[in-house]
A and B are shown apart, each in its own frame.
Chain A
Amino acid sequence: MRRPGPPLFLARAGYRRRRLYDVARLVPVFGAFLICLPIVWAEAPGRAVSPTVPGHAVSPDHGKAPANTAEPGLVAAQGSTARDGLYLFAVWAALIGVAAGLAPGLRHTGLPNADDARRTRD
């Protein structure tokens, strides 16, 4: 009986390394997306139910007390400082964690010219 061997692929290490570079490039993109996410729920009307902490409802008097809406023309809703703060710090910590995980792999291979410039590879 023939067992399926590992797929035939040459230069496995180099391929992995280039994917690591891809991740390194993508991290800030995802980070920017997650950090800008509060905008989406800031614009959601009502905000009766919190998207991040289910079941934790914002008390009504907080919801309609605009502390200082300096720009009357701007449509903006109010968020909870505590909850949004926790969310942002969690995203921040995750970004740091991912960057710390990637850093050792990028430190040694990162600086030679193998990946850049005009050569395009898979």
Chain B
Amino acid sequence: MPFNILVLACLTYVAILFLVAFVAERRASRGMQGFLRSPLVYTLSLSIYCTSWTFYGAVGYAARSGLEFLTIYLGPTLVFVGWWWVLRKLVRIGRQQRVTSIADLISSRYGKSNTLGVIATVIAVVAATPYIALQLQSVTLSFGAFASGTPEGWGMSGPASTGLWVAAGLALFTILFGTRNLDANEQHHGIVMAIAVEAVVKLVALLAVGVFVVWGLADGPADILAKIDASAMATWTLQPGRWTGLICLSAAAVICLPRMFQVMVVENADEAHMARASWAFPAYLFAMSLFIVPIAVTGLERLPAGSNPDMFVLTLPLAEGQGALAMLAFLGGFSSATSMVIVESIALATMMSNHVVMPVWLRLLPRSAARGDLRWVVLLARRLCIGAVLALGYAYFRLSGGSGELATIGLIAFAGVAQVLPAVLGGIFWRGATKAGAAAGMTLGFAVWAYALFLPSFGPDAVISADVFADGPWGIGWLRPQALFAVEGMDPLIHAVFWSMSLNTAAFLIGSILTFPDPVERMQGVAFVNAFDDEAQTGPLGWTRGQAEPEALLMMAQRILGDDAALSFFEVESAAQGKQGYLPDATPGFLAALERRLAGSVGAATAHAMISQLFGRATVTVEDLMAVANETAQIMEYSSRLETQQDELSRTARQLREVNERLTQLSLQKDSFLSQISHELRTPMTSIRAFSEILSDGDLPADRVAGYGRIIHDESIRLTRLLDDLLNLTVLENGSVQLTLGLANLGQMIDRALAASSHTRPERSFDIQRRMGSEEIFLTTDADRLVQVFINLISNARKYCDSADPILRIAVRQKGGRVSIDFIDNGAGIPREAQAVVFEKFARLPDDKGAGGAGLGLAICREVMANLGGTITYLPGQRGAAFRVTLPLRLEKRDAAGAL
């Protein structure tokens, strides 16, 4: 087939892809995303896992190593059918945190650390280099396979220059495709659609070749099975180490490959699509693998010995004269290579611009965050990075000689990207993972991989000299690149994977355990590990120092998101704050939202750094730290708080119950008092009225008049006393009483009180028990008021003590600065239910003695004592009524005031 037609076919195919991408972008920009964002397109876009390694290399792999090629597809199958473990969480986190790449995921998880972003980027770029070289090599080989049968031969100077042309073409293609604009979400609808189309093309092409082989060249499956058993491939050597090792390696790679992360997490439109992809993507891999062995067997059987098995998919139809089928196969291989290169280089360019170029740019030109045209810078950086990635791939292709087996090159890349796996898995499942641990693990793993696998892949004496291979560096035998720690006899690939991953994981774990994360890191750790727990999503860091001008923020956002997008974002945020116009207040919530939005375009670390430049450092609030604090501590604190609250509640309830009881009693007493007081007032009034009426009638004997006059006088005295008591109480309660402080002897005061109260029921002879010695105390107080209290208490005892031989004991005690005087009689005492209310106004005990008080005495006592800075309480359990008066030795003016 003429070489020119081949090139023309390629260009036509690319033009069709462009058209597909263009239409998809148009529809997406009009919001017509129905089909574009369907699970089918998502699943098909995941098929960029199948590169030309699968398309061409798998057949070669099968021809060389039998069924071992299946490991590369069985690992991802296990990861996808087990999506509930890892992928579900990755997708959720990716959407929550607006992650732009796997380096961004790591950087964001470990405290938005750009250092880690750089390490992950370097690993991804270096590991992708052989992989991109693989694509270049396969496209070059496929051109060669076509051209070798034509008279013009290569038509060009050789594979090296073909490789260069392919690399340049792919770079141009990717730049035109992938960096047309800087999307807010880093989602590329057009590219995803184009990849879906390419996925269909490569599947159809491979199935077509397979069907042709099974039913065209052989007589159906049974015949093929017989041929397999009869061929050189009939037996295969299952090496347990390689079998399990490669399954694990491919499982790790499907999570960590930058392009897989890009389509799986970054381009994901709906988390539910993952459920469909969990079986549909393995089914795609299944279909891709189904005819690999038949093609390999038939190729080995029919093609001349020495032909490259990597090209069987293409050379078999060519040799059988099926030009159209060969063309389809060629386009399938071309699709595999181009889709991989496009997405891989976009993913890598995003990482490089976000984690390397932008931070350096912001460091060198700090003011550009507010002034320079950043969109232009970002796009240019990405374009240059795409060029650089392809240039690196081409360099590897040239250095490695362009002759290696495709599968071997691919496995080197797999082992390289797998080095970020411990940091990723540790980051999303283990809160204890720290920045230092992740950095140590990735660096060590990467170094071991480079030393034991990547650099040796250039061949002896290319980078590492043959002496080092044989004897180790500086003659240290146990450091030989392919026999580290003197472990010999392992397969070199498994050897490198084993040591790099073991040392990587060990360094990650030890580093994490020994170091302490900073607050941002801990917060991000919580948000990532508890991605399914909405309560843990406390939101990103709070920007608490409100200094940034919203206008400056808007200008910065416009330079990254574009004018329209930035303005509408600000307008929405402003409306959410209840403001008109485009400038919301720079609240922490708004800044966090803005940071997330910017992170979707330039990565978390860069977005954080840019806002920091305008805004000063972010601070972690106490609430944030609380949220991060150990859950156990939180729960313990919470339950102890509950316990305290419960105690307090039950205490309050008890108090309320007591108060309620007292209030009920008071209300009853008040009722009974009202009838009492009206009776008390009424009785003297009635007699006064009656006698005064009699007097006013005249013509009474003089002695009668005198008698009636005395009665009227007595009754009015009684009335006056009652009214005096009431007045006294009011004054005392209002605190407007005037105290006359002076030094007084307690014993003398008690003497006075006893003398004064002796008129109360004078017919009863009380036995007064006192201890004179203890009463020799001088008090600074208002003696008259205190005596009044004593009189009240002694009179009460005289009135109510119902004992046949009444005894009143007066006991004085001095303790600290206070004196207590107990008045204890040997009567029946006060019933328990009445004790609580005896000091209330109008409280009167059932009065069978007819003592006839108004029930104000003890209330007055209580008020007096309060005015004197002391208390009066009822002492229960003394086999009689007992009252204790307590008061300070020296009453100061201010104590008196304070007691009110």
Contacts and interface: CB of A to CB of B under 8 A. Distances in A.
A48 interface: no
B169 interface: no
A74 B241 contact: yes
Contacts of B530: 116-118
Contacts of B74: 35, 88, 92
Interface in A1-40: 21, 24-25, 27-29, 31-32, 35-36, 38-39
B228 A99 contact: no
Interface in A53-96: 58, 62-63, 65-69, 71, 73-74, 76-82, 84-86, 88-89, 92-93, 95-96
Contacts of A21: 84
B532 A65 contact: no
A103 B274 CA distance: 9
B80 A88 contact: no
A106 B239 contact: no
Contact of A38 (B88, B233, B243, B280): B243
Contact of B237 (A32, A69, A73): A69
Contacts of B238: 38-39, 42, 76-77, 79, 84
A88 B489 CA distance: 28
Contact of A81 (B233, B244, B280): B233
Contacts of B282: 92, 95-96, 99
B247 A35 contact: yes
Contact of B278 (A69, A85, A86, A103): A103
Contacts of B532: 111-113, 115-117
Given A84-B67, A107-B275, A117-B533, A74 B234 contact: no
B442 to A, nearest CB: 25
B577 to A, nearest CB: 28
A98 interface: yes
B290 interface: yes
A25 to B, nearest CB: 5
A27 B84 CA distance: 10
Contacts of B391: none
B229 A80 contact: yes
B272 interface: yes
Contacts of A107: 272, 275-276
B237 A116 contact: no
A78 B240 CA distance: 12
B286 interface: yes
Contact of A73 (B77, B80, B489): B489
B631 to A, nearest CB: 7
A28 B85 contact: yes
Contact of A28 (B78, B237, B239, B283): B78
A117 B535 CA distance: 10
Given A28-B81, A82-B228, A111-B92, A42 B240 contact: yes
A62 B643 CA distance: 77
A70 B222 CA distance: 31
A103 B233 CA distance: 37
A102 B80 CA distance: 12
Given A42-B238, A74-B239, A96 B631 contact: no
B198 to A, nearest CB: 22
B704 to A, nearest CB: 95
Query: Which among A32, A58, A73, A92 has the greatest number of chain B C-beta atoms within 10 A?
Result: A92
A106 B84 CA distance: 9
B691 interface: no
Given A76-B237, A85-B293, A25 B533 contact: no
Contacts of B534: 113
A45 interface: no
A85 to B, nearest CB: 6
A31 B78 contact: yes
A8 to B, nearest CB: 30
A108 B272 contact: yes
Contacts of B631: 118
A118 B235 contact: no
B275 A104 contact: yes
A29 B489 CA distance: 30
B54 to A, nearest CB: 15
Contacts of A92: 74, 77, 282, 286
A25 B85 contact: yes
Nearest to B297: A81
B197 to A, nearest CB: 23
A86 B228 CA distance: 12
Contacts of B888: none
B84 A110 contact: yes
Contacts of B293: 81, 85
Contact of A78 (B88, B236, B243): B236
Nearest to B85: A25
Contact of B82 (A25, A85, A112): A25
Query: Which among B80, B247, B532 has the greatest number of chain A C-beta atoms within 10 A?
Result: B532
A58 B228 CA distance: 13
Contacts of A86: 225
A95 B237 contact: no
A111 B271 contact: yes
Interface in B488-513: 489, 491
Given A27-B82, A31-B81, A81-B293, A103 B239 contact: no
Contacts of A116: 530, 532-533
Nearest to A100: B279
Contacts of B241: 74
Interface in B57-71: 66-67, 70
B275 A103 contact: yes
A70 B230 CA distance: 22
A79 B121 CA distance: 41
B275 A85 contact: no
A78 B279 contact: no
Contacts of A66: 235, 237
B272 A81 contact: no
Query: Which among B228, B272, B279, B491 has the greatest number of chain A C-beta atoms within 10 A?
Result: B279
Contacts of A110: 84, 88, 271-272, 275
A32 B78 contact: yes
Given A82-B234, A92-B286, A113-B533, A76 B239 contact: yes
A95 B77 contact: yes
A76 B67 CA distance: 14
Contacts of B66: 67, 79, 81
Given A81-B236, A84-B236, A103-B279, A39 B286 contact: no
Given A76-B240, A99-B81, A65 B225 contact: no
Contact of B236 (A28, A79, A97): A79
Nearest to B290: A89
A106 B237 contact: no
A112 B271 CA distance: 11
Contact of A103 (B225, B240, B276, B286): B276
B232 interface: yes
B79 interface: yes
Nearest to A95: B81
Contacts of A58: 235
A93 B289 CA distance: 12
Nearest to A115: B532
Contacts of A104: 275
A35 B78 contact: yes
Contacts of B290: 89
Nearest 4 A-B pairs (CB), nearest first? Answer: A28-B82, A99-B279, A78-B235, A107-B275
Given A107-B275, A110-B272, 13 more contacts: A43-B240, A71-B491, A76-B240, A77-B237, A78-B236, A78-B237, A81-B236, A96-B282, A99-B278, A99-B282, A110-B84, A111-B88, A118-B631
13 contacts: A32-B78, A35-B247, A36-B247, A63-B235, A67-B236, A71-B239, A76-B237, A79-B236, A85-B67, A89-B290, A95-B282, A107-B272, A115-B532
Interface of B: 66-67, 70, 74, 77-85, 88, 92, 225, 228-229, 232-241, 243-244, 247, 271-272, 275-276, 278-280, 282-283, 286, 289-290, 293, 489, 491, 530, 532-534, 536, 631
